[in-house]
Structure 1
Amino acid sequence: AVEELDLDVKRAERVCVLHGRVAVAHLAWLARMIRVTQRIAAALADEQRGERALAAIDPVLVAPPLAIAIHPSPPSEQKTEPDLAVDRAQTRLVELQLAAIDHIIDAAREETGQLERRRSLLEAARRLLLDADASLQLDAEGVRARKRYLAEQIVQVDRLEATGLSPRVGLVHQARSALARGDRHRLRSALCALEGFAVTAGDASLGERVARALDGVDGAADPFSQESRQQSLGRSAGELFGGRVLDAVDRAYAESEGSRRARYEEALSDSVEGAVDLALAYLDEGKREQALAAMIAVDGCFDVGAPLVPVRVRNTTITARLVRHPTQDLVLTRARGPEDVPNAVITDPRTVLLDLATGRLLSRRYVRYEPQIRERVEMVGEARIYLLDGSTSMLDEGRDMARARMRDAILMAELATSMERFEKGDRHTRVVLYFRYFTKRIGPVTRVSRPNEALAAMAQVLEEPHRGGTDIEGALAASFETIRQARGQDPSLAQAQIVLITDGRAEVRPSLVEKARAPVGDLPIAVSVIALGEENPALRDLVAEQRRRGERAFYHF
């Protein structure tokens, strides 16, 4: 590895001599490889903790730099020499933008002291990566490695914060405070965070000290055993989503097979042979841990944004002021002093002083109306509709029905978040969530605006089977109609977003989508896509066109 790295550095030097520069991303990759080589050498020399240090070297450290996938153009479309000069400048700009993603990931990796800073860096890197992936044809392998790493790290921060760790307080201080209070659970969480972050960042000294402290807390228990992992997963799910959500999941997976089979046979009576068995396998009791793991992973894998949108609002307040100079408006007001006597309404000169002292003397005063403009940012609710592909391919394709499980996990996590927002949110801000499943038939839309409705919707998501084909165009048209009706019920609706979750196996014609969108009027509607397993080029182009218009649409794959 050292010899290969030496050859790479020499090649970079020759490229710099011949062309005058080396791509920034490539130089950053060489720097990372030097650090990785040094860490591997140190880990091999450490007999006790070396294996742990080697396992902590994440794939992004050794992944090739982000680059645009090259597709050769036919000779008729090759650029002329002046255009090539412009292309070089644009390519240089894109290289710097892509290199910034890895720089931010490196900064997040080096942040070992505070959860909030680490999360901010991770989410910034994910946002830039998703934007770049939606706008450019990037190399799929490099994007996939970074998405996986960022998802794992964000989920780790989520789970640590759910244990009670403060995101804005240093982890060392929290560990000391927990030790002083005798809070064993909080102490272990802080030490786990410090140890994991230190080893990932390559800080062997800090990692060694924290590992010794963690051994004293854990005792003889193996934190990496399968039993410990399952217990940790269950605790994290309860801390992240709450007991009521876990109860809903447990009820769905604890239902007897006989009762579920009878219900599925009635619901899937017109489906092909084997549909009932496939639906039963999806909700097998042994798959509960997979469902919880998918729900926990949602926040790290996808950034769907919040249903509350910041909007700048301008309020104008008219204030009336009494002035001495002439204006269009004249009023009678109580005289305040001797200076008001010349303009006073005098009925009896003998009682002027008495009326002034007692406040009965009225004086003519001019009024000026002054407008005061104040701007503030308000959180305005948007109508969000989840369109969930219920086709057979979501169950048949993928490993262990992963597509359907992640589809339902996304909605379950959104329902859990919405339920918390309903209970704690501002009563003046209306947040409404809609969702519907679709196959060749468009399922009924479910409206969620209260905590009890969110709990009922969770049971519906987990208990109702779905089989059939895929009609994305019809589902989008039905969603536009739902938004039109929602706007009629709530004229203050600022914007709407449709989140389509599908494996992409259907025809989508942009002209028909725009035609179905027209009756809604000028309400901003973003159609975002989460592609599970397979891409649909038409959906990717649909999102790209919205982004070119400046709309808040996203594309995840």
Structure 2
Amino acid sequence: MSAPDALHLRIERLLRRPEEVRARVPWWSRLRARFFGVDETFRTVALEDAAARALTRDTWPGHASALIAELEENVALAEHRVAAGEPVASEDLMWLASLHRWIVRVEEALDRPHALDRLVRGLGRRPLDVRPGPRPPRTRAIDALLDEAAHETARLGRRQRLLEAARRALLDGGGADGTAKRIVAHELAQVRRMIASGARADIDLAHQIESAIARRAPVATTLAAAASYLGGHHDAHAHVHDRLARPLHDAPASDVPDAIPPALAARIERAYDDARARLERDLELASPARALALRRRRSFVAPGAHLAAMRAMLAADARLEIGGALSQARFLAEDPRDEEVAFPAERMRLAHARSVEDLRDAVIDDPRRVVHQLASGELLVRRHLRPRRTDRARSGANAEVRLFLLDGSTSMHGARARMRDAVILAELAALMERLEGGGRVQQLLYYRFFHTESEPTRRVRTLDEARRAIDDVVGVERSGGTDIERAIVDALREIEWARRHDVALTRAQIVLVSDGEATLDASAIVSLRERLGVPTRIAIVALGGEGPSLRALADAQRRDGGARVFYHHVSDVELEAWERGDGAPSPSYAAQEPPWDEISALLPSSGVPDEDPRPLEDALAELGISDDASAARLDATRRDLRALEARFDRWLPALPSGPDTLAGADDDDDLSRTLDAIAVLETLDTPGVPRIERMADAIAVLVRVLHALAITPARYAELIARHPARFAAPIAALRRRHGR
């Protein structure tokens, strides 16, 4: 029996049959442990070393032997504790089990680069970063949200929503859990790459693979690689997916990040080429002082600079949270239609006659057959049409209007300027993607550069305006002093003026991107914001230096209204790493032509099975988790809105505003943990997603988080019944958000 297999049996024995452990430990070891105790703690030296290094197929063997040896020592230590009658926390035993599973899975994935990437850099590496010992309730709640994302292996769109919620929860916590943030950023980047390479976000991956194989479409290789990364393919056809993904294992890496659409990449490259050509022309006529500034900028737009910009764009998209992109709203939409008129008009169409009155406009080719054609419905008549436009009230999603304030001062140079530009370029790219997709979502953004003076505010709402904005961001050199307070005050006053002239701007969120090398009066800015009478928040991205003024502005907004305020600080070291794209390169997802004849030979025994929810429900029941999570997902799949609404009302009921009963010590602790669980649901704010999907997500996440916090469904129901006043406000807010 191999060492990992033997360890598995010993860990299972510790978890399920501790009495057998006592019988297997020699009597003298039990006696010594009983009299002298077991004071040692779990060793994590090899674990720390592996977590701090980039794990690859070549470096893994050395780490594996050290990790297995250390795991054996820790299992032996746990066995001696059990033999001595000392308690061993279940969390520590689960930690040993998860670390063992992770080692085994890495061994199995050494020949599958996409699966290995998830295990050493994505959500699959979390056992490597967890340490034994108790974890705060908030951290466990976020862990449960990440677990829900890790278990979503079918739909990329839902996985992305859960990851974005985890990113918001990590930001709200204000903690320095840099590892979790890096994992979430890596996962979001991979989902983005899969979608950009041809995977659909809203269709089950298994069915996409089946369809692509039937059509012999090269995108099947992308989908198989995505399934390998997510780890969700069925054993019955895993070998087909592995063979499909094999052409991508050794595919040459492209200089252009594959998450950037080719048309957008070409536009950005052209903008940098134009900026470089313009700079060379200006150098010929520049004064000595001006020429010095232009030469400093030459490296910023040098050949290859567009690649650094795109790498920074991907980092900004994956790592920086500045608020939801959509909000529910009712708005007037133009509804163009054609109406029939009784007189000649510019347009005409042929239609079937409906009555005798239509004979005057009939197309008669044989008068003898008119009566027969009229009776049989074959007679054609002329219909004159004119356009008619009306405004209709529609409910849908509005884009969250954002006004980007971008620091163009001289101190914003190098990687700082690159990331500043990347933030607005990433937002422009997202806007262009939504505009090209069409739909009912109202799309709009504003941006303004500021230095000693503020530039005019630019409004972007069409594809042409977005393309011109890319040229403006990349092509214009900016320098001068930093006056952040004046820029913010000007923006707030512009929003106040817009209440009469540009209604869309009144609901704007300000996104400030600066290095913070200036002072400002946070209280004065918050006071002016309140006088506007509109919900204007100021999200902050501090690049390089972290001036205390920007942090004070974020804290003042939180104290003033308690609203979520997004604040990011990115050091110069991180900025340079993001610009270079440091880290081990992820395997490609760009579609390749697979060996179809070989794939066809494997297909008869590898059809995609229909997903049966019963095994998942049984597994959840064995773990003590309510099956309402899987049942809610099944309701959403079946579009059973009535059943899902009833389930939602059971978990998040409308509560009366009556007084609470007196809480005991146990209630206080459970109340705090339950409120933490409900707070996690607030991060699932995705109004662009259908309501039925959002309700199912809320139930599934709540069930998982409550289980992670050791709150049973019965205890949860008891708490909300005993303390309605404590839960009424947060649950009412969630119900409003989900249309209940």
Alignment TM class, shorter chain as reference: 0.5 to 0.7
Give the structure 2 partner of residue 495 of structure 1. 507
Could you tell me whether the CA contact under 8 Å between 1:434 and 1:448 is conserved in 2? yes
Give the structure 2 partner of residue 63 of structure 1. 129
Give the structure 2 partner of residue 74 of structure 1. none
Cα deviation for residue 458 of structure 1 reads: 1.1
C-alpha separation in 2, matches of 1:48 and 1:21? 37
C-alpha separation in 2, matches of 1:19 and 1:542? 51
Give the structure 2 partner of residue 386 of structure 1. 404
Q: Deviations over 1:74-116 (max 9, x none)?
A: xxxxxxxxxxxxxxxxxx9x81221122233234334333323
Cα deviation for residue 411 of structure 1 reads: 0.7
Cα deviation for residue 514 of structure 1 reads: 3.0
Normalising by structure 2, we get a TM-score of 0.51
C-alpha separation in 2, matches of 1:108 and 1:310? 24
Task: Work out which structure has the larger RCO, using CA pairs closer than 8 Å and 6 or more positions apart in sequence.
Answer: 2
Q: Does 1:171 align with 2:205?
A: yes
1:180 to 204, 214, 221: 214
Could you tell me whether the CA contact under 8 Å between 1:122 and 1:150 is conserved in 2? yes
Q: Deviations over 1:149-193 (max 9, x none)?
A: 212211221222233322233323222211111211x11111110
**Comparing 416-425 with 285-294, which one deviates more in the overlay?**
416-425
Q: Does 1:411 align with 2:424?
A: yes
C-alpha separation in 1, matches of 2:324 and 2:448? 19
Q: Does 1:160 align with 2:185?
A: no
* 2:519 aligned counterpart, secondary structure: coil
Cα deviation for residue 508 of structure 1 reads: 2.9
Equivalent residues in 2 for 1:523-538, closer than 5 Å: 523-538=534-549
Q: Deviations over 1:20-47 (max 9, x none)?
A: 99696x776555433334445x35xx88
Could you tell me whether the CA contact under 8 Å between 1:382 and 1:494 is conserved in 2? no
Could you tell me whether the CA contact under 8 Å between 2:404 and 2:510 is conserved in 1? yes
Give the structure 1 partner of residue 268 of structure 2. 249
C-alpha separation in 2, matches of 1:212 and 1:513? 59
Cα deviation for residue 390 of structure 1 reads: 2.1
Q: Does 1:476 align with 2:450?
A: no
What is the one-letter code of the residue matched to 1:445?
Answer: T
2:562 to 535, 550, 554: 550
* 1:395 aligned counterpart, secondary structure: coil
What is the one-letter code of the residue matched to 2:312?
Answer: A
Could you tell me whether the CA contact under 8 Å between 1:420 and 1:451 is conserved in 2? no
Q: Deviations over 1:186-237 (max 9, x none)?
A: 1111111012222xx899997665333323x55xx822x4xx3326x2x542
1:197 to 221, 230, 241: 230
Give the structure 1 partner of residue 182 of structure 2. 148
* 1:248 aligned counterpart, secondary structure: helix
Could you tell me whether the CA contact under 8 Å between 1:309 and 1:379 is conserved in 2? yes
**Comparing 452-461 with 375-384, which one deviates more in the overlay?**
375-384
Q: Does 1:125 align with 2:166?
A: yes
Cα deviation for residue 459 of structure 1 reads: 0.5
Q: Does 1:445 align with 2:457?
A: yes
Could you tell me whether the CA contact under 8 Å between 1:383 and 1:432 is conserved in 2? yes
Could you tell me whether the CA contact under 8 Å between 1:160 and 1:189 is conserved in 2? yes
Give the structure 1 partner of residue 250 of structure 2. 222
C-alpha spacing 1:421/1:504, structure 2 compared with 1 (3 Å): same
What is the one-letter code of the residue matched to 1:449?
Answer: R
Give the structure 2 partner of residue 360 of structure 1. none
What is the one-letter code of the residue matched to 1:405?
Answer: R
Could you tell me whether the CA contact under 8 Å between 1:498 and 1:525 is conserved in 2? yes
Equivalent residues in 2 for 1:168-317, closer than 5 Å: 168-184=202-218, 186-198=219-231, 210-215=241-246, 217=247, 222-223=250-251, 225=252, 228-230=253-255, 233=257, 236-238=259-261, 243=263, 245-255=264-274, 257=276, 259-263=278-282, 274-306=292-324, 308-311=326-329
Give the structure 1 partner of residue 155 of structure 2. 114
Ranges in structure 1 where 5+ consecutive residues have no aligned partner: 68-91, 314-374
Could you tell me whether the CA contact under 8 Å between 2:115 and 2:229 is conserved in 1? no
C-alpha separation in 1, matches of 2:400 and 2:111? 54
Give the structure 2 partner of residue 334 of structure 1. none
C-alpha separation in 2, matches of 1:539 and 1:12? 52
C-alpha spacing 1:491/1:269, structure 2 compared with 1 (3 Å): farther
* 2:513 aligned counterpart, secondary structure: strand
Could you tell me whether the CA contact under 8 Å between 1:381 and 1:431 is conserved in 2? yes
Could you tell me whether the CA contact under 8 Å between 1:36 and 1:57 is conserved in 2? no
C-alpha spacing 1:204/1:294, structure 2 compared with 1 (3 Å): farther
C-alpha spacing 1:189/1:543, structure 2 compared with 1 (3 Å): same
What is the one-letter code of the residue matched to 1:222?
Answer: D
C-alpha separation in 2, matches of 1:433 and 1:128? 25
C-alpha separation in 1, matches of 2:259 and 2:227? 18
Q: Deviations over 1:375-431 (max 9, x none)?
A: 9965456542101122334324xxxx2x3222212211222333454566678x765
Q: How many aligned residue pairs are there? A: 436
Q: Deviations over 1:340-387 (max 9, x none)?
A: xxxxxxxxxxxxxxxxxxxxxxxxxxxxxxxxxxx9965456542101
> RMSD over aligned Cα, in angstroms?
4.1
Ranges in structure 2 where 5+ consecutive residues have no aligned partner: 1-66, 332-392, 570-740
C-alpha spacing 1:391/1:31, structure 2 compared with 1 (3 Å): farther
Give the structure 1 partner of residue 145 of structure 2. 104
C-alpha separation in 1, matches of 2:85 and 2:553? 42
Could you tell me whether the CA contact under 8 Å between 1:382 and 1:493 is conserved in 2? no
Could you tell me whether the CA contact under 8 Å between 1:487 and 1:493 is conserved in 2? yes
